[in-house]
Amino acid sequence: MNLDFSFYNWAIVSDYLLKGFIFSLKLTGSTTVFGILIGTLLALAKLSKHAWLSRPAILYINLMRAIPLVMLILWFYLLVPLMLGRPIGAEPSAYITFTAFEAAFFAEIIRSGIQALPPGQSMAGLALGMSPLQTMRLIVLPQALRHMIPVLLTQVIILFQDTSLVYAIGAYDLLKGFETLGKNFGRPVEAYLLAAAVYFLVCFLLARCILFVKLRLSVKGLAHD
């Protein structure tokens, strides 16, 4: 089999791939932001001493972590329009399902980061007259976030890779762009090889960013010590 990449040029990228790449980045970015926000609330609820808060949070986190993401995407895309009586669309379905799914994983990362801090941090805040909420917001979370950043960024890499699953509902992501490119030019093998190279390059650059952040955090930690 002879591979031929001569069809690949900037015009091809802008026509077939740029739209999908932008959508994959937007899906990754929005899911990260809202996933961390919702995940923080879920983590705090799970750590709560009130059962009416902790039990629903535990149930949600365990349920989401037990369901394959592609199955959740298909369920939402196919079943919710039947209940609402109108279609939702592939891209809105992707945004909602990815946020709901990833929030559970971010919640566990945030929970473990909070619990990794010495209990004396919370006790010090309470001793200063702060409320438990103030102690969590002003003392615990800022410190925990510093330790969680590398793990959160690692989850972002996994999230970017998982964006290719929206292919199952026909959303035009980066992988769909490469598939369309391969079909139109009769070069599916070359198109998928290029897709693998692009995914590898993006994930490699993100991994290097994580390494840089870890080194910076290590240096700051030594400076504070």
Q: Are 69 and 5 in contact (CB under 8 A)?
A: no
Residue 5 pLDDT: 66
Residue 163: pLDDT band by 50, 70, 90 thresholds? very high
| Average pLDDT over all residues of the chain | 85
pLDDT tens-place string over residues 52-69: 999 999 999 999 999 999
User: Which phi-psi region, left, alpha or beta, contains residue 186 (left: φ > 0; alpha: ψ -120 to 50)?
Assistant: left
Q: Which domains does the chain have, with CATH numbers?
A: 26-165 (1.10.3720.10)
Angle in degrees, CA 115, 117, 118, rounded to 5: 110
Residue 217: pLDDT band by 50, 70, 90 thresholds? low
Q: Is 171 helix (H, G, I), strand (E, B) or coil?
A: coil
CA dist., res. 143 & res. 70, Å (int): 34
> Which tokens is 4 given?
């031929």
Residue 48: pLDDT band by 50, 70, 90 thresholds? confident
3-state helix, strand, coil in the chain (%, to 5): 85, 0, 15
Q: What is the pTM of this model?
A: 0.86
162, 177, 185, 201 from 211: Cα distances, Å: 21, 30, 39, 15
CA dist., res. 139 & res. 124, Å (int): 9
Lowest mean pLDDT among 53-57, 94-98, 159-163, 218-222: 218-222
What percentage of the chain exceeds 70 in pLDDT? 92
Compute the average pLDDT of residues 76-87: 87
Compute the average pLDDT of residues 30-45: 94
